[in-house]
Structure 1
Amino acid sequence: MPSRIGPVLGRSSYIDDIAHGAKTWDQLCEDLDTLLYRLRYWHLSVRLPKSEFGKRSIPYLSHENSAEGIRATPKVVKGVMDLPFPKSHKGVLSFLGSLNYYHKFIEELWWQQSSNNFQKTRYVRDETSLELMNHSYCSKGKSLRRQC
């Protein structure tokens, strides 16, 4: 059995969408050959009209992948920046989940959200009168009003 039967491209993953880059064109061609060999081995097909090869930048799962790295698309960034301030416990969880997922793509997001939303109101009440204090903490446990 050939040595190409190990994990593809150095990782094991569920195949649904595949995106891969390489530092050189030769490395990309070699990796693509390995990947296509593996797909043939397992009798999996690739839809050619939906496939793109050798591009410098590709849209992938609401992100733009390129040699410079992964970026959120401008539409997604605008959507996150325009999120309304939550008015319920469920809304706070959704809001924080969105910020947690996209924070690495938006520079100084915690400061922008702090100044835009947290300083406007002292308390937010939801339907059950649960008070959510206007005090949030960054990952280091310090107040957003202080630098983390």
Structure 2
Amino acid sequence: MNSVLRGLTWTTCLDYLDDIVIYTKGGIEQHVIELACVLERLAAAGLTLKLKKCVFATERMEYLGHELSSEGVRPLERLISAVRDFPQPQDAVEVKRFVHLAGYYRRFIEGSGRWRNKLLSSK
């Protein structure tokens, strides 16, 4: 996918495996132009889309466990609940499980490096 979208990635779209997000800083007219560029690249590479998996011209969407919008990126509430409601770990294996679960959202958790290191170093 990187070679197919080269030059468009980080300016018009992001891709992860077979998921592509096309984002636009302008209005709908600009979005249609950028969408066409991506679709042309995919077609030229012989790649097709499953229409039922596509979402077009939306202001909010879920992507890789995050909600993306014009306001920015935030973690999905249902996944935050999984961290918040995690039962108190009873052994080192459960501590590691919690650290890895919470670690996915470390960029949103103030001081995550400190508590992560403390939890992993305690036995």
TM-score range, shorter chain: 0.7 to 0.9
C-alpha RMSD of matched pairs (Å)? 2.9
Residue-pair matches, total: 111
Report sequence identity in percent. 31
More strand per residue: 2
- Correspondence for 1:68 among 62, 68, 71: 71
- Correspondence for 1:18 among 12, 17, 20: 20
The equivalent of 1:97 in structure 2 is 100
State the structure with more CA Rg: 1
The equivalent of 1:7 in structure 2 is 6
Counterparts of residues 23-102 of structure 1 (less than 5 Å) = 23-25=25-27, 26-102=29-105
Distance 1:61 1:101 in 2: 10
CA contact (8 A) 1:58 1:65 kept: yes
Aligned-pair CA distance for 1:31: 1.9
Given the superposition, is the C-alpha separation of residues 61 and 13 from structure 1 closer, same or farther in structure 2, using an over 3 Å criterion? Answer: closer
Give the unaligned 5+ runs of structure 1: 111-136, 144-148
Give the unaligned 5+ runs of structure 2: 119-123
Distance 2:102 2:9 in 1: 30
SS of the aligned residue for 2:114 comes to coil
